[in-house]
């Protein structure tokens, strides 16, 4: 892959929507890779004991998976120079698994610096799970 | 026990060093569905101008959460981890993290504020190389739910 050319990017360009499955195995893999072994992300009984409906995805998994969509669009993951979000709702992951849907829109393009600002929307079961999710990618 | 406001503004000695290797990057990339070959193929990464395979943009959290640990687990800080929810996360990458890096993390407690019976604690970890070159700024806000006293 090569990085997307800045000249080909305009305000209003859309990304996705991309549907990403998530299973309990995904969360175990994420826990191992990230070091976040909080049992609410793996153990249904524990999750219920603290008042959650079921196992929930790590917010950082959801942010990471959403980031993969914008990195793919940029054509080079190393081009994502800023990335931030709020975690507004958990993604509930039953035994049968779940999915998130990620979409983006280009909000600003700075031709001088090459900085492209992308607003991202991630939903699960039709509800937004991230708030103010914004990535900045730097393109040439 | 309430969150101790006295910790606001405190900076901790650097944590780490944490070595970054290709296996860790590949595992993290697979877990977040990142399929860009710059995560797994050193030739693709070098062709794109990097020293080696590149970490996904959110992998820095693995290190920033380790830097957070000394603060959050300090009994004097008054943070009941069972009542913690992740509220917000932000990364500014000064350069991509690549395999072969050895990172240090310096944690600062940026703010502690009350909001609707909860406490919002914002921490910032500056990830650097051993020689002090800036790699990433990771800012996290956790919500410590009140009502447990």
List pLDDT tens digits, range B86-118. Answer: 999 999 999 999 999 999 999 999 999 998 889
The verdict on a CB contact (< 8 Å) between B28 and A33 is yes
Whether B63 shows a pLDDT value over 90: the answer reads yes
Tell me the CA distances in angstroms from B44 to A101, A138, B25, B100, one per residue in order: 28, 19, 14, 16
pLDDT value for A70 = 98
Tell me the CA distances in angstroms from A110 to A8, A127, B12, B64, B90, one per residue in order: 13, 31, 37, 30, 21
The verdict on a CB contact (< 8 Å) between B36 and A30 is no
pLDDT value for B147 = 67
In chain A, residues with a C-beta closer than 8 Å to the C-beta of B66 are 35
Q: Is the pTM of this model over 0.90?
A: yes
Confidence tier at B149 by pLDDT (50, 70, 90): very low
pLDDT value for B2 = 85
Q: Which among B37, B61, B92 is the nearest to A60, CB-wise? A: B61
In chain B, residues with a C-beta closer than 8 Å to the C-beta of A60 are 58, 61, 86, 89
Confidence tier at B1 by pLDDT (50, 70, 90): low
Find the residue in B nearest to A86 (Cα). Answer: B88
The Cα angle at residue B25 between residues A98 and A114, in degrees rounded to 5: 90
The verdict on a CB contact (< 8 Å) between A68 and B61 is no
Domains and CATH numbers, chain B: 5-20+59-144 (3.10.129.10)
In chain A, residues with a C-beta closer than 8 Å to the C-beta of B86 are 59-60, 87
Residue written as token pair 């019976």 = B117
Contacting residues for A27 by C-beta, under 8 A, at least 6 apart? A41, A42, A55, A57, A58, A61, A93
Does residue A63 belong to the interface with chain B, where contact is any CB pair within 8 Å?
yes
Quick one: which of A118, A114, A116 has its CA closest to A102?
A118
Reported ipTM: 0.97
Contacting residues for A66 by C-beta, under 8 A, at least 6 apart? A85, A100, A102, A120, A122, A130, A133
Query: Which tokens is B138 given?
Result: 């990771």
Query: Which tokens is A117 given?
Result: 């600002």
Q: Is B147 left (phi over 0), alpha (psi -120 to 50) or beta?
A: left
pLDDT (average), residues B54-78: 96
pLDDT value for B104 = 98
What long-range pairs does B108-111 form, CB within 8 A, spacing at least 24?
Answer: B108/B9, B108/B10, B108/B11, B108/B12, B109/B7, B109/B8, B109/B9, B109/B10, B109/B11, B109/B71, B110/B8, B110/B9, B110/B139, B111/B8
Q: What are residue A17's phi and psi, to 5 degrees?
A: -70, 145
Task: Please give chain A's pLDDT, 140 residues, in tens.
Answer: 689 999 999 999 999 999 999 999 999 999 999 999 999 999 999 999 988 999 999 999 999 999 999 999 999 999 999 999 999 999 999 999 999 999 999 999 999 999 999 999 999 999 999 999 999 999 99
Whether B136 shows a pLDDT value over 50: the answer reads yes
Whether B126 shows a pLDDT value over 90: the answer reads yes
Confidence tier at B42 by pLDDT (50, 70, 90): very high
pLDDT value for A36 = 94
Whether B148 shows a pLDDT value over 60: the answer reads no
pLDDT (average), residues B136-145: 96
pLDDT value for A1 = 65
Does residue A134 belong to the interface with chain B, where contact is any CB pair within 8 Å?
no
Residue ranges of alpha helices (H) inside chain B are 22-31, 42-47, 61-72
Cβ count near B23 (within 10 Å):
11
CA distance B37 to A65: 16
Tell me the CA distances in angstroms from A55 to A44, A50, B127, one per residue in order: 5, 11, 31
Domain positions in chain A: 6-22+58-138
Instruction: Residues A6-22+58-138: name the CATH superfamily.
Output: Hotdog Thioesterase (3.10.129.10)
CA distance B148 to B78: 12
Query: Which tokens is A3 given?
Result: 């990085």
In chain A, residues with a C-beta closer than 8 Å to the C-beta of B56 are 64, 67-68, 71, 77
Q: Which among A30, A77, A83 is the nearest to B31, CB-wise? A: A30
Q: What are residue A40's phi and psi, to 5 degrees?
A: -65, -15
Quick one: which of B123, B141, B109, B111 has its CA closest to B10?
B109
Q: Which among B31, B66, B91 is the nearest to A29, CB-wise? A: B31
pLDDT value for B82 = 82
| Contact residues, chain B to chain A, C-beta under 8 Å | 24, 27-28, 30-39, 44, 48-50, 54, 56-59, 61-62, 65-66, 82, 85-93, 96, 139
């Amino acid at each position: 892959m090569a990085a997307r050319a800045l000249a080909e990017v305009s305000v209003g360009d859309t990304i996705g929507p991309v549907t990403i499955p998530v299973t309990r195995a995904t969360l175990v893999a994420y826990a191992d890779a990230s070091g976040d072994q909080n049992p609410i992300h793996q153990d249904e009984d524990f999750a219920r004991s603290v008042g959650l409906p079921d196992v929930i995805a790590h917010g950082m998994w959801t942010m990471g998976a959403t980031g993969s969509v914008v990195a793919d669009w940029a054509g080079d993951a190393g081009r994502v120079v800023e990335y931030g979000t709020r975690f507004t709702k958990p993604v509930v992951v039953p035994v049968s698994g779940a999915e998130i849907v990620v979409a983006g829109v280009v909000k600003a393009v700075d031709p001088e610096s090459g900085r492209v600002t992308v607003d991202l929307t991630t939903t699960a079961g039709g509800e937004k799970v991230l708030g103010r999710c914004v990535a900045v990618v730097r393109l040439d | 026990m309430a969150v101790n406001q006295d910790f606001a503004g405190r900076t901790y000695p650097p944590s780490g060093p944490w070595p970054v290797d290709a296996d860790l990057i590949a595992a993290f990339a697979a877990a977040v569905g990142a399929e860009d070959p710059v995560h797994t193929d050193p030739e693709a990464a070098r062709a794109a101008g990097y020293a080696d395979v590149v970490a996904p943009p959110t992998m820095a959290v693995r290190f920033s959460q380790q830097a957070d640990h000394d603060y959050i687990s300090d009994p004097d800080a008054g943070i009941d981890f069972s009542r913690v929810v992740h509220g917000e996360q932000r990364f500014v990458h000064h350069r991509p993290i690549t395999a072969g890096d050895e990172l240090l993390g310096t944690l600062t407690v940026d703010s502690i504020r009350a909001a609707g019976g909860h406490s919002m604690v914002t921490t910032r970890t500056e990830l650097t190389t051993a020689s002090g070159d800036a790699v990433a700024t990771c800012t996290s806000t956790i919500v410590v739910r009140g009502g447990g006293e």
